[in-house]
Chains A and B, each alone.
Chain A
């Protein structure tokens, strides 16, 4: 027996296998692609709506609204001031519209991740079985190179906003699921026992005790999800999502150094704005946990 070459499937068989799977998937796409597209169409509507809203509204109002949002989350003038300055610079260097597209994309992806991720996290916290089942899937979602799952997504949806959003959500949803699960599991047993002793039902425990106590951890998940969506803008732009990723892509293809750096810095700027605001909000949520007495 030959010990140098690993005994592999014959080339013909391998090709056959690949072709069988590919053609099976292609048939599936042909049969259900349209249905799936219709199901996911609302995402497109939402994304386009937010994008147009941000771009078509006078920039002063958008800037004021963003500053107000940052203030509501962080209650810190420093962060608000930093945000306004960065946005002014972004606008001055002509990246306003692309930035608005990217913010819209991140907002929609985060929203979807939260709406799907929190219930999944709750499920994992309540059932060890679900936990054991879903954890490896999350591991896979986080380690699989994103280009690999772009293939089936693009096969089904073609190029466009929807596949972009789906790809970003797949990439960015694991932290919120994990941290929701963790946050709920970390609720101290004695506090849960107290809730139980007073006759709480499962739902009451979840609503009144577990979720509120897990909230700071869940917020940390939201923060990470936002950061990861931003990290995906360039990849998303490859399949047709508008925003700061497109000029970066263009810069890569044509070796426009300055264009790339400017747009890259813009991405960094919004990332910092989002990060500081959500972290400050998470800190404020934990206020009651600060021990004044020992």
Chain B
């Protein structure tokens, strides 16, 4: 199994769609807006100075509204789209500079992709779809088939190996898409709105399938979504795109606690804060209370509130990863934080998360 060990480093990446994008990079660098480029030069700014380090073995979510450049960004990682300027480094190599052969081998061996509209091969059975990546690499048919069958079974499609994609429901088709990508056993897994076409129930189901798999596979996953709950549920880290620019990146908790601007705040309005924020960010450091409840510092506010009410107390002590006491929280503060940001008592994030 190929555990991911290399970060992906995206540096100063620009993409300007249009016949003469290269000549406009300087204008964009000097701050010309997307609208101005569009109206004066009929070019579309897809990405604007994107810098992002995607840590090996983690799930990096990229979020943004429709047209913000999410698909454009993810397609630069396997260079389905050629950048106008910038670099994408992986394992000491710049993907942007690779020759066609290098690029093909990189795609075959290091990446796999899951698509929003599934993009299965309609003329191939589930099994043949799943072996596609290995067929392309000219692996012996028998080995490819064994590996494919393992993943088909893993995503819960036993018995459908010989069905054609059109005979399956949407959720099942996306499982095929996932199995096809996983069979490639690549370090990097690119998922462009992979679950967006699914109905809510199947969607959460697929999210847990993905999280279960990731717990053991530890791939570097780039996951695109425009759904905040999905982003917070899956993302080790989240980057938010707007008009091709990354306007904030960090953990879900960091973003929920400290939205960089009103645009992001408006995104976060409906978020279940109690489901994202952990007690360490709201505890009073060093304080010790007389209470039967002791919680690890990574406990979510919802769980903390439930624990306190269950024990009929309004305080809880907090311990760090090693079990040492680090502070305490009150029920009132916990509930207040779940409802709305508390402006009166500023918590320094760096301090809190440290």
Question: Inside 8 A of B322's CB, which chain A residues have their CB?
Answer: none
Q: A197-B111, A201-B104, A204-B136 are known contacts. Are A293 and B167 too (CB-CB below 8 A)?
A: yes
Q: A208-B135, A289-B166 are known contacts. Are A198 and B184 too (CB-CB below 8 A)?
A: yes
**A197 is contacted by which of B80, B122, B123, B164 (Cβ under 8 Å)?**
B80
Chain A, residue nearest B105 (CB): A199
- With the chains together, A212 CA to B120 CA distance in Å? 14
Question: Inside 8 A of B167's CB, which chain A residues have their CB?
Answer: 292-293
Question: Inside 8 A of B190's CB, which chain A residues have their CB?
Answer: 197
Q: A198-B108, A199-B137 are known contacts. Are A191 and B121 too (CB-CB below 8 A)?
A: yes
**A182-212 residues at the B interface, CB under 8 angstroms:** 188, 190-191, 193-201, 204, 208-209, 212
Question: Inside 8 A of A218's CB, which chain B residues have their CB?
Answer: none
Residue A236, interface by CB 8 Å = no
**B193-252 residues at the A interface, CB under 8 angstroms:** none
Distance from B353 Cβ to chain A, minimum over Cβ atoms (Å): 36
Distance from B109 Cβ to chain A, minimum over Cβ atoms (Å): 8
Judged by DSSP, the binding face of A is helix
- With the chains together, A209 CA to B132 CA distance in Å? 10
By size class, the interface of chain B is: 20 to 34
**Cβ–Cβ contact B78 & A197, under 8 A:** yes
Distance from B142 Cβ to chain A, minimum over Cβ atoms (Å): 19
**A291 is contacted by which of B113, B119, B166, B184 (Cβ under 8 Å)?**
B166
Question: Inside 8 A of A292's CB, which chain B residues have their CB?
Answer: 166-167
Question: Inside 8 A of B122's CB, which chain A residues have their CB?
Answer: 191, 213, 288-289
Question: Inside 8 A of A193's CB, which chain B residues have their CB?
Answer: 80, 115, 119
Question: Inside 8 A of B108's CB, which chain A residues have their CB?
Answer: 198-199
By size class, the interface of chain A is: 20 to 34
Question: Inside 8 A of B327's CB, which chain A residues have their CB?
Answer: none
Residue A2, interface by CB 8 Å = no
A-B CB pair tally, cutoff 8 Å: 72
Question: Inside 8 A of A288's CB, which chain B residues have their CB?
Answer: 122-123, 164, 166
Question: Inside 8 A of B111's CB, which chain A residues have their CB?
Answer: 197
**B5-60 residues at the A interface, CB under 8 angstroms:** none
Chain A, residue nearest B107 (CB): A199
**Cβ–Cβ contact B166 & A190, under 8 A:** no
Contact string against A for B residues 123-148, beta-carbon threshold 8 Å, 1 for contact and 0 otherwise: 10000000011011100000000000
Q: A199-B137, A292-B166, A293-B168 are known contacts. Are A194 and B119 too (CB-CB below 8 A)?
A: yes
**Cβ–Cβ contact B166 & A293, under 8 A:** yes
Distance from B299 Cβ to chain A, minimum over Cβ atoms (Å): 40
Question: Inside 8 A of B135's CB, which chain A residues have their CB?
Answer: 208
Question: Inside 8 A of A291's CB, which chain B residues have their CB?
Answer: 166
**Cβ–Cβ contact A198 & B119, under 8 A:** no
**Cβ–Cβ contact B104 & A212, under 8 A:** no
Residue A290, interface by CB 8 Å = yes
Distance from B220 Cβ to chain A, minimum over Cβ atoms (Å): 16
Residue B169, interface by CB 8 Å = yes
Question: Inside 8 A of A190's CB, which chain B residues have their CB?
Answer: 115, 117, 119
Contact string against A for B residues 78-121, beta-carbon threshold 8 Å, 1 for contact and 0 otherwise: 10100000000000000000000000111111011101010111
Question: Inside 8 A of B137's CB, which chain A residues have their CB?
Answer: 199
**Cβ–Cβ contact A191 & B166, under 8 A:** no
Select the residue from B104, B120, B122, B132 with max chain A CB neighbours within 10 A.
B122
Question: Inside 8 A of A200's CB, which chain B residues have their CB?
Answer: 104, 136
- With the chains together, A188 CA to B119 CA distance in Å? 9
Distance from B151 Cβ to chain A, minimum over Cβ atoms (Å): 15
- With the chains together, A197 CA to B78 CA distance in Å? 7
Chain B, residue nearest A188 (CB): B119
Distance from B51 Cβ to chain A, minimum over Cβ atoms (Å): 24
Q: A288-B166, A290-B166, A292-B167 are known contacts. Are A194 and B121 too (CB-CB below 8 A)?
A: yes
**Cβ–Cβ contact B115 & A198, under 8 A:** no
Q: A197-B78, A198-B132 are known contacts. Are A212 and B123 too (CB-CB below 8 A)?
A: yes
A-B contact pairs, 28 of them (CB 8 A): A188-B119, A190-B115, A190-B117, A191-B121, A191-B122, A194-B119, A195-B121, A195-B132, A196-B80, A196-B107, A197-B78, A197-B80, A197-B113, A198-B108, A198-B113, A198-B132, A199-B109, A200-B136, A208-B121, A208-B136, A209-B121, A289-B122, A289-B166, A290-B166, A293-B166, A293-B168, A293-B169, A293-B170
Give A residues with C-beta under 8 Å from B: 188, 190-191, 193-201, 204, 208-209, 212-213, 288-293
| Top-5 shortest CB links A-B | A199-B108, A199-B107, A194-B119, A288-B164, A190-B119
- Other A-B contacts than A196-B80, A197-B80, A213-B121, 5 sampled, CB-CB below 8 A, are A191-B119, A200-B136, A204-B136, A213-B123, A293-B167
